Structure 1
């Protein structure tokens, strides 16, 4: 039996013994208020509740369980907090009207709107990952394992992000924590039962900057536009800022579904800027127990634990690989370094301390000082992280055209290879939509994909000592493409067709 499979079975067997052989029917706390208090109806005029907990069921285990599985953030989930009571009619001056219930595999959310159409969302702090579990396994201990793993997240971490993101120049929502009264008449429908008596976050539906004008796109829509039209380009500098902030906060869950995009048109060009959403995995902690360590280091490496130093950074960044490969492929080493250093300047100690004080007092007492110190250490390491990350991305970059006809220019010099991509339809003298120099010491291979249209690839060797490194692989894609090469073609390979569909540059993201 392979060692990794044996270790998996051993870990699951141990968890089965600890968590029980089948899914618990009453896993979650019935109400955020303590049992002794919730026996009494909450007066309608009550403004806030005291002693509420985000999920005290996560802290019901003993020391042995904590040593084996991990303490995670269990104490924060059980910490008593004071929370305002939600009243949709006056939480904002214009009020909020409930819409459809939704949510991903873990969260339950309620869409809301103001009278002028601005969108908000209410989502429970606690999660239930049963929807992510195969139907055949929903009555087994695996559900207990996944539910208990929610304790790896910090229930109040999202409250600390807005001032940090604001200073970093990254769009953000501003979540507010509330208690939903079980007796609230607006939450009596059966589809709303999971909100009753629970803590929930209310926030804007999208993280659009104030006074911004443009169209909100999903990741699938945004990349679809980029692949179709040379006039639509991603704001790569803005994406790098956002991704470095992700890394600093330890937010590993940054797949394409965790982003919206703002498309803004001006002077015949459309800039598509990232709008991050869902900060549930900030300050994640999994590997502080023997089994948690085993799971996080051997099987689910992208479930990266937040620590004072960047550990397992490739796994930390891996969920955003689709975005990084296509949205950071024009940026230079100097731009990576400048962005990291700018973040260091924008995120001083005073700001970090103030942001962490947004945690409820009881939760701050448990996690605030340690998290503050870790963020300060990680901030000092941002340039080194950016350097290593840049080198990984620069090793084998992929550059694509669009569904229209493009001109790809490959200029080979003694010390570098320069790639320039422009639209055939562009006027003479207009700025190309891609331009970057690649160094042999950093880049082993450059892959160019023409995609649609009748593309032209020209290769120019400048000087008798023009480099043959990095290698260049050209895929013409659809249309009638042409390679025009002058001089030596050493290190070049041209293919009229496309790469396999699952590896194609223009494969749309899965959300």
Structure 2
């Protein structure tokens, strides 16, 4: 028989259980806080830090630059100082990172792994021209770092774990003043940031990161996929990661934000994504200046309850998306969307936010939780828009090996099958790629044939009936013998591959877009003593197509108003690069009342009366209308010919009581028309 001893009405047994429970809860909290499951074993001491004290500004400045995540950046919190003798079995710094904004240093661990420390604060001023780095503009530019969430990587890592995507586990820490920092000691000692494993391949038969056989970057992935069709990508895992990117608002998922873990199986090497660097997840871009910048640079998207245009949100990751995701069917998008919505529960979100410093809890947890929940609940619409974006013009890539592509046009669909061609000339029984495209979602398909001896077979209803098909197929061929059947069909177009063979960056991620439309905003903001503040703006429309550089055409319409001169300015301009091959045609219409707004007289000795100026005595009332059209072509590498006929008409009014009325015979008063053809050298 068990008996309990009671003290102050509670049994000793009950109190002991409560104490044990408190100890367990404290251990769990200490163990999981600030992003590491076992990090408390590697801290030498605890210190109080501020992530970015310099981001504290006045209310007026904040309204212009934005509140952002400023409260988190300026609020102190406690964090452990990393013990370089214990972490990773002992760390030794050996290389400084090459980023222009984030300071980073690489470590070798005695456990055989590599680690990377990244500073929490960043300085983007290094990307500016040298003469701008010590200006007010540079300070405002630097301040926009406060738009990023200081510890977004901690939150995202927990969410990635929940949906099963490979990732590193960042730990928030302060580097010590320690000789193990080596030559980097003075620069990095007492610096706040995160340390994480840097994924590498295993050596001497040991497994690498996540037991991978290979770890490569995105350009190595591009090259391997192009070289051999036995190299594959786990497109479903990549789509899973990209859907989460959309949910957390991470718009900066360019090629260098990914590593790839390769696993050898059945003669193939399949690569899974390792997303990294979460600087833009959950970023807030409120404030006047960020709002203006966001109109001009559309991919800069602040985190809100609703999704922005998926085109803008996914733009920086478009090349990997186009290379990998067209192989994924619509039902997989739907399935993964439901999977993510189920896995990222409210409880999981709470757990992720609990990894942040407790000192920040009252400052942003509730707000961020509401935003994440809203984005999760609306993920289906974002997923559908993403699918439509990827499949509007779908890319299918062959490799340098021999392949046969079978294009079959059915009644309401088009199927694409890609087969290996064996050494004996026969094709493999099972396709290495198969997709069925719906013309409701897909307007065009681009098939890239590289160096192999390839065959394209076109079959289906369109051949039998002679009718056109609503999906256009562009076959882009490179070196190597190509055999293409029924290539004269209306929906088939053959194009020589224009991608670079020497510049890998330009080959895989060209600087010029090659599809779709892009709407941007062109702001007009100016000031001068004659016109005063000139304010306005308007849309710019870009249209892109394959092989046309820098774009197919551009249309611009801007309007502005000068508050001092009380006058307007309107410009409509276009640039067309595909109407005539090798020539730019540029029409422009310009109406302005700002051509001449003041007339002070003739000669340098004319008297000036300040009061008369205030009364409008020197004002000029003129309307100027000009239409021009330019024809430009490049004759040689150093010679460009431009022919630009234009028509200009102006009407300058002779207003009584103005200085201009004292010169009745001066040239330019009244209506004047002029037609010229200019041929600049």
1:144 corresponds in structure 2 to 139
User: Normalising to structure 1: TM-score of the pair?
Assistant: 0.84
Are the aligned partners of 2:104 and 2:118 in contact in 1 as well (CA < 8 Å)? yes
Distance 1:222 1:210 in 2: 17
1:205 corresponds in structure 2 to 198
1:77 corresponds in structure 2 to 73
2:114 corresponds in structure 1 to 119
Name the structure where helix makes up a greater proportion of residues.
1
1:40 corresponds in structure 2 to none
Q: How many residues align?
A: 458
Are the aligned partners of 1:411 and 1:459 in contact in 2 as well (CA < 8 Å)? yes
2:363 corresponds in structure 1 to 366
Pick aligned residue for 2:319 from 315, 318, 322: 322
Cα distance per residue 1:177-206 (max 9 Å; x no partner)? 11234x4333474x4433223212111112
Are the aligned partners of 1:483 and 1:494 in contact in 2 as well (CA < 8 Å)? no
Q: Does 1:196 align with 2:195?
A: no
Distance 2:150 2:278 in 1: 10
User: How does 1:440-479 map onto structure 2 within 5 Å?
Assistant: 440-462=439-461, 464=464, 468-479=469-480
User: Normalising to structure 2: TM-score of the pair?
Assistant: 0.64
Cα offset, 1:365, TM superposition: 1.6
Cα distance per residue 1:430-480 (max 9 Å; x no partner)? 432211011111111111111112211110114856761211111222112
Are the aligned partners of 1:409 and 1:419 in contact in 2 as well (CA < 8 Å)? yes
Are the aligned partners of 1:106 and 1:130 in contact in 2 as well (CA < 8 Å)? yes
Distance 1:104 1:405 in 2: 40
1:382 corresponds in structure 2 to 379
Pick aligned residue for 1:396 from 393, 399, 402: 393
1:164 corresponds in structure 2 to 159
Cα RMSD (Å): 2.4
Cα distance per residue 1:266-325 (max 9 Å; x no partner)? 111111111111112111011x111221112x1222221111111243211111001100
Cα offset, 1:510, TM superposition: 8.1
Are the aligned partners of 1:227 and 1:506 in contact in 2 as well (CA < 8 Å)? no
Distance 1:125 1:504 in 2: 32
Distance 2:422 2:317 in 1: 33
1:11 corresponds in structure 2 to none
Distance 1:171 1:207 in 2: 13
Distance 2:83 2:69 in 1: 29
Distance 1:504 1:409 in 2: 29
Partner-residue secondary structure (3-state), 2:507: coil
Between 1:220-229 and 1:123-132, the stretch displaced more is 123-132
Larger radius of gyration: 2
Are the aligned partners of 1:54 and 1:198 in contact in 2 as well (CA < 8 Å)? no
Cα offset, 1:332, TM superposition: 1.2
Closer/same/farther in 2, CA of residues 453 and 211 from structure 1, 3 Å limit: closer
Partner-residue secondary structure (3-state), 2:68: coil
Distance 1:407 1:303 in 2: 41
Distance 1:121 1:66 in 2: 33
1:438 corresponds in structure 2 to 437
Name the structure where strand makes up a greater proportion of residues.
2
Partner-residue secondary structure (3-state), 1:126: strand
Distance 1:118 1:505 in 2: 29
Q: Does 1:349 align with 2:346?
A: yes
Between 1:449-458 and 1:499-508, the stretch displaced more is 499-508
Closer/same/farther in 2, CA of residues 421 and 509 from structure 1, 3 Å limit: same
2:406 corresponds in structure 1 to 409
Cα offset, 1:161, TM superposition: 1.7
Cα distance per residue 1:90-138 (max 9 Å; x no partner)? 134x121211111412111111121242011111111111332223433
Cα offset, 1:506, TM superposition: 9.2
Partner-residue secondary structure (3-state), 2:78: strand
2:420 corresponds in structure 1 to 423
Distance 2:392 2:505 in 1: 16
Cα offset, 1:347, TM superposition: 0.8
Between 1:75-84 and 1:205-214, the stretch displaced more is 205-214
Are the aligned partners of 1:256 and 1:510 in contact in 2 as well (CA < 8 Å)? no
Cα offset, 1:485, TM superposition: 2.3
Distance 1:130 1:505 in 2: 25
2:288 corresponds in structure 1 to 290
Cα offset, 1:49, TM superposition: 0.8
Pick aligned residue for 1:153 from 148, 151, 154: 148
Cα offset, 1:399, TM superposition: 1.1
